């Protein structure tokens, strides 16, 4: 049988066209099915928080301002609506000046303060306002209608952002939140802040007036787009193939979980603390800058802290999280070193400090911590807020010495 070259070529071209048409159909179908690829803004918080974050030129990253979105509750099989105002604070819009007769409190911190795992009315900020108002009403009732020396009306603003540390909290206050003129700023220092600071500090730059921590995306020089690579990066089929490859080889292709980068920060809570004096000093130093900025805006600063799970209970109660965070040794850790270091730093810096950790060592400790992330649970946030409210009424800021 004679070989006809043209027939073979026609068959090859036909097969190629059919393949391209089939690939186009698959691409078209998968674009309708696929979800947009997730952008990792910071590795210092979990993946579920990434869609709510945006890079910043001044303080690395922030909550997307003026947004309203739905996300899953970590502790319940339900969704919640998350509102972020124009200042990047969780909640509704707030006036630049507090209403007449209202004591304004701004609370700063990371995931535990922002509270994306719970509804807005269950965050530390919301609970703190509830407890303060309840205590004020109780005091007024017990004192025959006389108002408390502290305040009668309160406004607590949630300035927490996932993945934050004292460095970023200070920068955000300097650049944005100082305009709110709070009477009191509460800074939550988390046990993971040492690692967070180590992650961001290399991005610090000294500008003419204010320091900035510019997100890496603002420092990369744009390159001419390669049409082929651009098409592949936007292809739903390619994204599906990469996802499969990521599933098969997570150790090579997946983005490491936030807790996996926290080894430095979580090592300092162990009973055998390595030499992290330099890292700890760097992480706590911005608290002095925040103090000065708060005082300049006419307010006062209170530093507070709470424990993480492994300082109160056994890691065996949260085996997946314990493994993911690289926690080793016998838990709960008995070392009080982190709390003593923060307390000593604040004492030397003439900053008021409150350690809420003793309140977490009770028979219901397992209910006070999240098993998915190294943060407080819904009940833990309520307890933390209650303890802060109690200490504020016991030692009102109006009686603090300069």
Summarised one tens digit per residue, pLDDT across range 348-400 is 999 999 999 999 998 789 999 999 999 999 999 999 999 999 999 999 998 88
Is residue 88 helix, strand or coil?
Answer: coil
Element (H, E) at 391: helix 378-394
- Give the pLDDT score at 41: 93
Summarised one tens digit per residue, pLDDT across range 225-278 is 566 666 655 666 666 565 555 444 433 333 344 443 444 658 999 998 888 899
CA dist list (Å): 118 to 30, 72, 253, 332: 33, 9, 31, 26
Residues of the chain predicted below pLDDT 50:
1, 246-263
Secondary structure of 130-166 in the HEC alphabet? Answer: HHHHHHHHHHHHHCCCCCCCCCCEEEEEECCCCCCCH
- Hey, which residues does 99 pair with through a beta bridge? none
Q: Count helices and strands (H / E) in the chain.
A: 15, 11
* CA dist., res. 124 & res. 15, Å (int): 63
Q: Is the peptide bond before 158 cis (omega within 30 degrees of 0)?
A: no
What is the secondary structure of 26-48 as a DSSP string? Answer: HHHHHHHHPPPPPP-S-TTS-GG
- Give the pLDDT score at 303: 98
* CA dist., res. 65 & res. 77, Å (int): 26
- Give the pLDDT score at 253: 37
- Give the pLDDT score at 36: 54
Which one, of 47, 53, 85, lies nearest residue 68 by Cα? 85
* CA dist., res. 234 & res. 173, Å (int): 37
């Amino acid at each position: 049988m004679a070989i006809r070259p043209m027939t073979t070529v026609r068959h090859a071209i036909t097969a190629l066209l059919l393949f391209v048409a089939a690939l186009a159909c698959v691409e078209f179908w998968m674009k309708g099915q696929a979800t947009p690829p997730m952008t990792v803004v910071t590795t210092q918080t979990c993946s579920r928080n990434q869609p709510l974050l945006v890079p910043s030129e001044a303080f690395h990253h922030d909550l997307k301002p003026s947004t309203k979105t739905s996300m899953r509750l970590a502790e319940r099989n339900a969704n919640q609506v998350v509102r972020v105002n124009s200042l990047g604070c969780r909640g509704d819009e707030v006036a630049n000046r507090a209403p007449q007769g209202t004591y304004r409190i701004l609370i700063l911190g990371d995931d535990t303060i922002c509270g994306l795992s719970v509804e807005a009315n269950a965050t530390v900020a919301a609970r703190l306002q509830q407890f303060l108002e309840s205590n004020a009403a109780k005091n007024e009732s017990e004192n025959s209608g006389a108002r408390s020396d502290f305040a009668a009306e309160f406004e607590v603003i949630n300035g927490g952002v996932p993945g934050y540390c004292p460095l970023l909290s200070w920068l955000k206050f300097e650049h944005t939140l100082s305009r709110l003129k709070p009477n009191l700023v509460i800074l939550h220092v988390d046990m993971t802040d040492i690692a967070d600071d180590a992650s961001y500090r290399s991005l610090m730059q000294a500008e003419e007036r204010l320091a900035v921590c510019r997100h890496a995306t603002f420092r990369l020089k744009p390159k001419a787009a390669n049409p082929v690579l651009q098409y592949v990066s936007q292809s739903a089929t390619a994204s599906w193939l990469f996802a499969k490859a990521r599933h098969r080889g997570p150790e090579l292709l997946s983005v490491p979980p936030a807790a996996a980068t926290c080894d430095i920060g979580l090592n300092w809570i162990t009973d055998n603390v390595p030499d992290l004096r330099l890292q700890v000093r760097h992480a706590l130093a911005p608290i002095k800058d925040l103090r000065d900025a708060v005082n300049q805006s006419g307010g006062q600063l209170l530093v507070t802290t709470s424990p993480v799970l492994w300082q109160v209970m056994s890691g065996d109660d949260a085996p997946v999280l314990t493994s993911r965070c690289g926690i080793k040794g016998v838990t709960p850790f008995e070392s009080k070193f982190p709390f003593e270091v923060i307390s000593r730093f604040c004492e030397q810096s003439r900053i008021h400090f409150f350690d809420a950790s003793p309140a977490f060592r009770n028979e219901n400790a397992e209910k006070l911590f999240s098993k998915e992330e190294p943060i407080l649970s819904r009940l833990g946030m309520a307890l933390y807020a209650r303890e802060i409210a109690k200490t504020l009424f016991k030692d009102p800021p109006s009686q603090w010495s300069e």
